[in-house]
A and B are shown apart, each in its own frame.
Chain A
Amino acid sequence: MSTVAETQIKLTPEHDARPGASVRSRLQDLLPKIVLAPSFAATIVFVYGFILWTIYLSFTNSKTFPSYDITGARAYQRLWRWTFESDPPSSWYTSITNMGIFGFLYILICLALGLFLAILLDQKIRGEGVLRPIYLYPMALSFIVTGVAWKWFLDPGLGLEQTLHQWGWTSFHFDWIKNKDFVIYTVVIAGVWQASGFIMAMFLAGLRGIDGEIMKAAQIDGATTFQLYRRIVIPLLRPVFLSAFIVLAHLAIKSYDLVVALTSGGPGGSAWLPSNFMYEFTFKRNEMAVGSASAVIMLMTLTAIIVPYLYSELREKPR
């Protein structure tokens, strides 16, 4: 920010003072484009170029190394077949159902908890300056650290269960992390712990941005606190919901490392997410075509969710 301001202040008078410097002024006009060009080119190649390349690979029979002969949609056929193999669950079935459970709970709980904490912190309480960083701090940790810490905490032989047993509550039983049916929920717990503070900060910023006059007007009209939040504050926070949703959705899709650190895949691979599936098949099983196909499906699913949402949200407020 400061850079832009500085340059503008410095440059404008020179611009007027020297009429002969037209080359220079043209250069100055071009400079932002020149500076942006490398990153633009890098994005085109490394994001969109590789998306296209991945789509291409998914139609080949690539194994360990990329192969460029198109051999048809066998990879997609296999994934499609695996989508319906629920007993015993195929790895792909496990991955996509886990993504559904994890994505839904993670986003929902983070939003709810983040909003709730933000509303509590917004009551002009003492010590907010101390509390806010405490909640926000987990976001500073990487998924790996979060995963390992929660792995130890949730391990029945090391963490919570063991401690409570030592304190005398011997009937306490919490072995979700070792249980194939519940392990995905421990990923939700760790993920929520990490992200909800950040979401709280987003909502808090949103709450601070709401005009106090509106609140006062509502209170004068006799709105209860609940009504105040339900009818006025939360609708006004809509843009924050949008940002928070986007942030959480991409974190959910990226949660590969959390699953690895927390569960190393879970009992019998029961904690896999599609990203784990993609990595396993591409790099460990040398089935690059299947890995690429799963990546394409992930991308399309995400696009199918995010694009309509973005479209509907951004269209309402044309600039």
Chain B
Amino acid sequence: MLRKLLIGTALATSFAFSAHAADVKEVQMLHWWTSGGEAAALNVLKQDLAKEGYAWKDVPVAGGGGDAAMTALKAMVAAGNYPTASQMLGYTVLDYAAAGVMGDLTETAKKEGWDKSVPTALQKFSVYDGKWVAAPVNVHSVNWLWINKAVMDKIGGTEPKTFDDFIALLDKAKAAGVIPLALGGQNWQEATMFDSVVMSTGGPEFYKKAMNDLDDESLKSDTMKKSFDNLAKLIKYVDPNFSGRDWNLATAMVIKGDALVQVMGDWAKGEFHAAKKTPGTDFLCYRFPGTDGTVIYNSDMFGMFNVPEDRKAAQVALATATLSKSFQSAFNVVKGSVPARTDVPDTDFDACGKKGIADLKKANEGGTLFGSLAQGYGAPPAVANAYKDVVSKFVHGQIKTSDEAVTELVKAIDDAK
């Protein structure tokens, strides 16, 4: 009996210690794109790499979702077992770059002309200390309205151009007996909507000062108070059951026609596509009223780790394939986002995608492309989450007035800086 136990222990130990050597013709990839459309989109990349002779290996993540993946990544990096690349968001890339574990793709970047084609604002996250450390996969923007066209026709609504138009439109929907605004009452969704509200209320200059530069004066200004008041107005149009709802369920309400509109990033379009809806005939995409011409973005990046020399070739191949025009187009058509380089032809995209591409180009040239604070592209995670806390507490009534909200916001952000 005891001998069996000992043998068993020895076997288990030897299994645990048998570190599997990484194959040099293999791309080890940590990501959380496992659901239908996203997985299909990623398959394009797998096939591109297979053509060049590189095998793809997913790094398994238990539990799915970005948080679990980031916890797994932290453990891998701490153990010195770097993946070839990992899906990463915003400041995470910079954190890891500051810790000195990211690779250097500057050579490839120069050869491929990334610094000219990738929007400048994005390069803040993909370039650290003059070195390319990540390959952006896409650009999402959050200042979108997603509207059910049948409901819109029924209530005789037109595209809202100002915030007051928007309120009037919501009133019409309410009068017609549909839920005007589909919202999931989770803090990131509320804050994502508030990003657009701030842009709409204060304009691009103000947004940059408050939400990216975290300027105290702007954060406690009357404009910020008015933004909170506007948010309070919008919250009056959600159904009583909104708290805690997932974003895709809120999108489903719009798809089914139970609700008129959702304010959400363009990943919502993936849900419409999955439900076999076409833009223009089944649903409409407008910029959040008062934010036309500006883009509040977030972006998925493939962070490239400082892998041993023999695995570099696979990494370069991955990065090149990721930023190739063909993959950028194929992937983003499915994902609902727009390409992370501005020189990709928009022929394969639907109407919303075409508008997204044109908007991004315009915003990049006009300097009105700003990071979303709610999505972690405006400030480091500690600040972004403090912001989400305040917005969410305001929405759910722990913070009662807009005066109190700005005071709390300044306090929370100062605390987290």
Question: In the complex, are the beta carbons of B70 and A283 less than 8 A apart?
Answer: yes
- A78–B78 Cα distance when bound, in Å, is 28
Question: In the complex, are the beta carbons of A285 and B381 less than 8 A apart?
Answer: yes
Give the residues from 324 to 343 in chain B that come closer than 8 angstroms, CB to CB, to chain A.
none
Partner of B9 from the list A7, A38, A64, A284 (CB cut-off 8 Å) is A38
Residues of A within 8 Å of B74, CB to CB, are 64-65, 283
B317 to chain A, nearest CB (A): 29
Binary B-proximity of A57-81 (CB < 8 A = 1, otherwise 0): 0000001110000000000001000
Question: In the complex, are the beta carbons of B399 and A88 less than 8 A apart?
Answer: yes
Give the residues from 167 to 186 in chain B that come closer than 8 angstroms, CB to CB, to chain A.
185-186
- A119–B245 Cα distance when bound, in Å, is 41
Residues of A within 8 Å of B244, CB to CB, are 177-178, 263-264, 266-267
Question: In the complex, are the beta carbons of A178 and B389 less than 8 A apart?
Answer: no
Binary B-proximity of A280-298 (CB < 8 A = 1, otherwise 0): 1001111100000000000
Secondary structure type dominating chain B contacts = helix
Q: Is A31 an interface residue (CB 8 A)?
A: yes
Q: Which residue of B lies closest to A268 (CB)?
A: B396
Partner of A91 from the list B95, B389, B395 (CB cut-off 8 Å) is B389
Partner of B67 from the list A157, A283, A286 (CB cut-off 8 Å) is A283
Q: Which residue of B lies closest to A82 (CB)?
A: B415
Residues of A within 8 Å of B9, CB to CB, are 38
Question: In the complex, are the beta carbons of B393 and A268 less than 8 A apart?
Answer: yes
A268-B398, A284-B67 as given contacts; A155 in contact with B241, CB under 8 Å = yes
Residues of B within 8 Å of A286, CB to CB, are 95, 380-382
A263-B244, A268-B397 as given contacts; A88 in contact with B67, CB under 8 Å = no
Question: In the complex, are the beta carbons of A269 and B393 less than 8 A apart?
Answer: yes
A175-B240, A263-B244 as given contacts; A269 in contact with B397, CB under 8 Å = no
- A267–B67 Cα distance when bound, in Å, is 20
Question: In the complex, are the beta carbons of A64 and B396 less than 8 A apart?
Answer: no
Question: In the complex, are the beta carbons of A287 and B382 less than 8 A apart?
Answer: yes
Partner of B385 from the list A6, A178, A284 (CB cut-off 8 Å) is A284
- A286–B67 Cα distance when bound, in Å, is 12
The 18 sampled A-B contact pairs (Cβ below 8 Å) are: A3-B2, A7-B2, A35-B6, A64-B95, A64-B99, A78-B415, A89-B393, A157-B241, A177-B243, A178-B240, A178-B242, A180-B396, A263-B244, A264-B244, A268-B396, A268-B397, A284-B381, A285-B416
- Name A residues whose Cβ lies closer than 8 Å to a Cβ of B: 3, 6-7, 31, 35, 38, 63-65, 78, 88-89, 91, 155-157, 175, 177-178, 180, 263-270, 280, 283-287
